[in-house]
Structure 1
Amino acid sequence: MKKHLLPVLLLAAGMATAQTPVKYRELPLGAVKPRGWLNDQLQTMRKGATGRLDEYYDKVRKDNGWLGGQGDAWEETPYWLDGALPLAYLLDDATLQAKVKRYVDWSLSTQRPNGFFGPYTKAERTKGKMETCQDGEDWWPRMVMLKVLQQYYTATNDKRVTDLMTRYFHYQLKNLKECPLAKWTEWAQSRGGDNMLTALWLYDQTKDPKLLELTELLYRQTTPWTRMFGERNWVMQAAANQTSEKWMDRHAVNVAMGLKTPAVYFLKSRDAKDLAALKTGFRDLMTLHGLPHGMFSGDEDLHGNEPTQGVELCAIVEAMFSLEQMVGITGDTDYMNALERMTFNALPAQTTDDYMSRQYFGIANQVQVSKGVYDFSLPFHRGMNNVYGHYAGYTCCTANMHQGWTKYASHLWYGTPDKGFAALVYGPNVLRTRAADGTDLTIEEETAYPFEDRIRFTISASKTVTLPLEFRIPNWCREATVSLNGQVLRTEKGGKTVRLQRTWKSGDKLELYFPMEVRTSNWARNSRTVERGPLVYALKISEQFTKLNHPQEGEYYEIQPQSDWNFGLPKKTIEKPAESLEVVTRTMTYPFVWNADHAPVEIRATGRKIPAWKLVEGVARQPVTTREEVYQGEVDAASEPITLIPYGCTKLRVVAFPVVP
């Protein structure tokens, strides 16, 4: 593999002429290696479901269609590979690489003469061949496998990938008019942006003009996300309409995937109106449907901003991937901050410590986890959507949850168009690459971020090297300090990227200091959330896990509170958080697990109980904080000490607090 890595690294760093107008270019899979707590997370996934799903999940394990069998031939196997394959190369795990490569090799070796690829269709099994596109099957799962193959190519430079893609995309161009995206399912129509993304990536490799023609055709057949985001009626209707009318346009996973479509199409159109529509749509989406943990509601439809609405795990990981693309294409720091907030808060809370079980729907103010229909727009008659289990709810999340952390890790660095590198989101890692002049370059990023406020970079190079490095100053940071070798270089306000163009020598040490002030933010029903840095903090509730078994959906966990949760935050705390809240930090313990016992930061506060705030039908519906800034109902006279911990370390919590006198 190593002999193929250099040309791909040089392309990513900007050595080749760019054909699409991106702000930052993705680096090849494997250039970034996780360290610290992030490596612990990925190692847990390797030992858990990500590394072993094919060993125990019958839908993937038995007679798999992506290995030529008659089993799963749709999305779940590619979903799993879309996280398992990058994990294999991030960890340099030869065993896992060999496991996922079986599926890659089968797809590459069984492409049909007409260009179609993937599991054999019903027509092929009965007639022995494909005579027309009518003998094909759903375009959608092939879009996911194209993402897998693209990542594999950047890790290995295996030319079979670009050959397959070229033939397949020519097949699409020839047949999409007769067999459009929506022919078999609406999923392909909603998610055509994924198809466009891979086609345009291939265009950057081959300069084949037919790929631009295909992109235009795909865009016309895809749900018109750009128009819907820009015209704004869609997002308002989505907040009001919970009927079956155009529900696929409100389906949270479709929306999460559709987010990137305007930015992807901009790569062809070069029309700034596409990016403006995306900006408007994303702001509206988060205003009307956003929740404190950084994700928008979706259970399964978009469902407003009440902290008792659910969020589908698939939607979180797909929104993260869309944001990673939006970051690279636009360079907009708002999307970088949104990516970190979603990753560090919403994502870890919906999986178990061993990364074997997950929630289909998680709730922001989640004070118990049990069977029930709650306030979800898709209750599902078994009532299993809120519990933690291998298969609880729909199993799409069983397969798709694996790409969240792996793709975050691989997007910690991007290449700049002028042959430098940019750290746009943060976490402990090592970047190994080559500069444009061929100099071997290693940048070690040492940090406990998001739990600490300092990020330290150490440069190692075979000789002095001149290139730009760029770093994001988070929006929430009032003023950051950038130091080199112990000397302050500059201070910068938040919400921008800092560019350092200089000659670097081996041993140079760069430090970013982002002071993390405690603050509060406003959410639905005038509730408040406590924040510090990129993390939101939630009430620590004692949790009792009970393992149960469902006859159809297998083993699962319910969680009941063992301490009181019905607290409001005093108005004084909201007005003067720095004076009212005590931040307590401790050394991180390794291996790190996102749970209450391992929380490296606590915020100590006082709260007052609201006696009338109780569970109703399993839901802790939010008391209203009036425009007078306090809840008007009965409140206990006595204040009590409470502890807040990072949202991602919780299973039970209150994160959106009523304000009390």
Structure 2
Amino acid sequence: MIKRMMMWALMLTPFSSMAQQPLAPLKYEPLPLGAIQPQGWLLDQLHIMKTGATGTLDEYYWKVKNDNGWLGGKGDGWEETPYWLDGAVPLAYLLNDAGLKKKVQAYIDWSLVHQRPSGFFGPLTKNERAGKKTEDDCANGEDWWPRMVMLKVLQQYYTATNDKRVLPFMTKYFRYQLNSLKTCPIGKWTDWATARGGDNLHSIYWLYRQTGDAFLLELGDLVYQQTTPWTRYFGERNWVMEAAAQQNGQAWMDRHGVNVAMGIKLPAIYHQAKGGHVYLDSLRTGFKDIMTLHGLPHGMFSSDEDLHGNDPQQGIELCATVETMYSLEEILSITGEQSWADAIERMTFNALPGQITDDFISRQYFQVANQVQVTRGVFQFSLPFNREMNNVFGPYAGYTCCTANMHQGWTKFTANLWYATPDKGLAALLYSPSKVTAKVGNNAVPVTVTEQTDYPFGDRISLTVNTKQSVTFPLSLRVPAWCKQAAVLVNGQAYGKATGGNMVRIERTWKNNDKVELQLPMEVTTSNWAKNSRTVERGPLVYALKIEEEWRKDSIKEEGVYYQVLPKSDWNYGLPREVIKDPAKFLEVKTRAMPSRFVWNATSSPVEIVTKGKKIPEWKIVDGVARQPVTTREDVYQGKVDPTEHRITLIPYGCSKLRIVAFPVVP
């Protein structure tokens, strides 16, 4: 106990008394934007985004379209335009799309060109429009928060272009921030900035790695001091228990799911400067606690808008999913711990696609795990919203932050499939069809590695090395934790085996057209969730009951077009106990070839699982919600169950809009 108190005392010591140290090296170095190119089904997804909202939001969404503040106008000057750019910029360079590059360049150029002499940047403030200059007093500026998002945009843009304006621009801004934070702290204008200061800190440390300017470390300490103390919250644990118990207005910003999603990365980011084990220990403890108390089968924690327990009728805000993905991607790079990659894949392949329509235009503000209908209503959300639009699909349904922010999910996932390693090699930490080009080995020889795979649907990953000359470098491959034993072949010959949770490192002299195959056998298993329910899993995918859907289009004046989805087939099934006890015997996997153009829906799904289920007659929709029947500790639901066995089909969660994913267990 004394040792624990001393650790926390050290963390809370005034930073002026702590010696400044250079940042620790990253375990895995992100590659420049554009070095990784999507292929296969992932390329299909990014093309859908280009023709959908990501590529066209500025053409129809009034906040981005009309007199935009990030282009010098009087319109949106807060978070939504930077949110959109945070996904549109990487999409432009991942697809190497000239039209989209030209679109986003206008916003980047305006920001870079219109930096004030003081270093402040962004849309003209109310004070500036009234003739007051920001350099006279930082109080004449405006909220730090939207600038944090725009800095993320500029970082990505710089890695893609090496635009020489970016580093001096960021340096000048951070000098302004250092000079201002004592009188205009992070939370001066909004609590959002206080909760999300980790994003600010990440940009500071990113710039330090480019320039080595010592003042950035001093600024980093100051920003960390003024940010919500996520490290202490995660490590001391009282916070997460109170979040599970309370839904009142007290300290609700500390329970806000998107704030938590962004705050998760703060301990790892600060660990780069301070070292030791306190920060990463707190992070691991906090994330485990969050997922234990609030986690849901699709890999995300509840967030509707507060953290709200692990019942499968609770919602998840789309912004929370994409921000958690981004946080874990940064944590993975910093720590190198593979468990973060497992968590990223689970939420990416399940929670993310299940909340957005096929055309990537409409989305839900809150999705529900056991979602047997999508309608207007209050339901069980901590923020029901008075127009009752938080669960329906629509371009603007609920709050429009998700309209702007959903675009970073797939793009940043793609940009983090591959990393450079300190031993001058490459590492595949996340898997999807892709192509990576990088310089490797002692002589920095350019190579291209093409990854062909149907993963996460298929269990084989084929890599082909293309190089103009032989080159020696290590190629490291992650074996997911769910895989009992992976096999690796090099040029058709057995290389070795590895158990889940390990890395396979292949160091050799590579020649053109050398091939590696990673085999990841996917067993069908079940996992245990709230109220002793069970979820069917295979590889990184969780599977949900396939329910026939009836889509109904409607509109309201305030939020425009929206869609409700009603079930056209029965859904109130439990899984028989014998299925849970012996899933390999009773769960039949059916696969087919990937479609020529993949979409995350039931029609395109290349995998189905067929089994048997029994109906629970009293399991009905009550107040718009399918309230979860309790499977007792005897592993069986005690209420009335129809003895008739029915053949039911399960599909990947991400391919569903209506579903049961947490099944009661029946006799």
The TM-score range, normalised by the shorter chain, is over 0.9
Does 2:231 correspond to 1:226?
yes
Q: Which residue of 1 aligns with 2:479?
A: 473
Shift of residue 306 of structure 1?
0.2
Q: Which residue of 2 aligns with 1:582?
A: 588
Does 2:475 correspond to 1:499?
no
Alignment partner of 2:151 out of 139, 146, 154: 146
Contact 1:147 1:198 in 2 (8 A): yes
2: CA distance, partners of 1:138 / 1:125: 16
1:228-267 aligned at under 5 Å gives the runs 228-267=233-272
Q: Which moved more, 1:151-160 or 1:495-504?
A: 495-504
Q: Which residue of 2 aligns with 1:7?
A: none
1:242-391 aligned at under 5 Å gives the runs 242-391=247-396
Where structure 1 has 5 or more consecutive residues not aligned to the other structure, the ranges are: 1-17
2: CA distance, partners of 1:78 / 1:37: 27
1: CA distance, partners of 2:236 / 2:25: 25
Contact 1:20 1:204 in 2 (8 A): no
2: CA distance, partners of 1:25 / 1:276: 22
2: CA distance, partners of 1:354 / 1:383: 24
1:505-524 aligned at under 5 Å gives the runs 505-524=511-530
Does 2:195 correspond to 1:193?
no
2: CA distance, partners of 1:631 / 1:465: 60
Does 2:47 correspond to 1:46?
no
The code of the aligned residue for 2:470 comes to T
Shift of residue 439 of structure 1?
1.6
Does 2:543 correspond to 1:541?
no
Q: Which residue of 2 aligns with 1:650?
A: 656
Contact 1:66 1:119 in 2 (8 A): yes
Does 2:628 correspond to 1:635?
no
Normalized against structure 1, the TM-score is what?
0.97
Q: Which residue of 1 aligns with 2:622?
A: 616
2: CA distance, partners of 1:284 / 1:623: 24
Q: Which residue of 2 aligns with 1:4?
A: none
Shift of residue 456 of structure 1?
0.2
The code of the aligned residue for 2:384 comes to P
Contact 1:21 1:270 in 2 (8 A): no
The code of the aligned residue for 2:529 comes to W
Q: Which moved more, 1:466-475 or 1:649-658?
A: 466-475
Q: Which moved more, 1:56-65 or 1:120-129?
A: 120-129
Instruction: Give 3-state SS (helix, strand or coil) of 1:159's partner.
Output: coil
The code of the aligned residue for 1:108 comes to L
1:165-176 aligned at under 5 Å gives the runs 165-176=170-181
Alignment partner of 1:178 out of 174, 183, 195: 183
1: CA distance, partners of 2:490 / 2:397: 50
- Deviations, residues 63-111 of structure 1 (Å, cap 9, x unaligned): 0000000100000000000000000000000000000000000000000
Instruction: Give 3-state SS (helix, strand or coil) of 1:80's partner.
Output: helix
Alignment partner of 2:133 out of 129, 132, 136: 129
Q: Which residue of 2 aligns with 1:420?
A: 425
State the number of aligned residues: 644
- Deviations, residues 137-181 of structure 1 (Å, cap 9, x unaligned): 000000000000000000000111101100000000111010000
The code of the aligned residue for 1:92 comes to N
Shift of residue 21 of structure 1?
2.7
1: CA distance, partners of 2:118 / 2:332: 36
1: CA distance, partners of 2:288 / 2:23: 29
The code of the aligned residue for 1:530 comes to V
Contact 2:132 2:140 in 1 (8 A): no
Question: C-alpha root-mean-square deviation of aligned residues, in Å?
Answer: 0.7
Normalized against structure 2, the TM-score is what?
0.96
Does 2:72 correspond to 1:68?
yes
The code of the aligned residue for 2:657 comes to K
- Deviations, residues 261-286 of structure 1 (Å, cap 9, x unaligned): 00000111112210010000000100
Q: Which moved more, 1:328-337 or 1:361-370?
A: 328-337
Where structure 2 has 5 or more consecutive residues not aligned to the other structure, the ranges are: 1-21
Instruction: Give 3-state SS (helix, strand or coil) of 2:622's partner.
Output: coil
2: CA distance, partners of 1:547 / 1:488: 55
Q: Which residue of 2 aligns with 1:110?
A: 114
Instruction: Give 3-state SS (helix, strand or coil) of 2:258's partner.
Output: helix
2: CA distance, partners of 1:640 / 1:591: 32
1: CA distance, partners of 2:483 / 2:44: 27
The code of the aligned residue for 2:84 comes to W
Shift of residue 19 of structure 1?
4.3
Shift of residue 128 of structure 1?
4.3
Q: Which residue of 2 aligns with 1:216?
A: 221
- Deviations, residues 561-596 of structure 1 (Å, cap 9, x unaligned): 000000000000000000011000000102100001
Alignment partner of 1:84 out of 84, 88, 91: 88
2: CA distance, partners of 1:316 / 1:645: 21
Q: Which residue of 2 aligns with 1:3?
A: none
The code of the aligned residue for 2:385 comes to F
Shift of residue 127 of structure 1?
1.8
2: CA distance, partners of 1:241 / 1:182: 24
1: CA distance, partners of 2:27 / 2:124: 39
1: CA distance, partners of 2:517 / 2:78: 47
The code of the aligned residue for 1:415 comes to A
Q: Which residue of 1 aligns with 2:9?
A: none
Does 2:600 correspond to 1:594?
yes
Poorly superposed stretches of 4+, deviation over 6 Å: none
Shift of residue 656 of structure 1?
0.0
Identity of aligned residues (%): 64
The code of the aligned residue for 1:70 comes to K
1: CA distance, partners of 2:517 / 2:369: 34
Instruction: Give 3-state SS (helix, strand or coil) of 1:597's partner.
Output: coil
Q: Which moved more, 1:295-304 or 1:425-434?
A: 425-434
The code of the aligned residue for 1:189 comes to T
Q: Which residue of 1 aligns with 2:5?
A: none
2: CA distance, partners of 1:483 / 1:282: 35
2: CA distance, partners of 1:154 / 1:20: 20
2: CA distance, partners of 1:531 / 1:384: 31
Q: Which moved more, 1:603-612 or 1:431-440?
A: 431-440
2: CA distance, partners of 1:503 / 1:234: 51
Contact 2:426 2:440 in 1 (8 A): no
2: CA distance, partners of 1:660 / 1:68: 62
2: CA distance, partners of 1:233 / 1:128: 45
2: CA distance, partners of 1:270 / 1:123: 42
Shift of residue 498 of structure 1?
1.4
Q: Which residue of 2 aligns with 1:443?
A: 449
The code of the aligned residue for 1:104 comes to I
Does 2:497 correspond to 1:461?
no
1: CA distance, partners of 2:30 / 2:513: 26
Shift of residue 204 of structure 1?
0.5
Shift of residue 417 of structure 1?
1.2
Shift of residue 190 of structure 1?
0.2
The code of the aligned residue for 1:429 comes to S
Shift of residue 20 of structure 1?
3.1
- Deviations, residues 361-385 of structure 1 (Å, cap 9, x unaligned): 0000000000001000000010000
Q: Which residue of 1 aligns with 2:7?
A: none
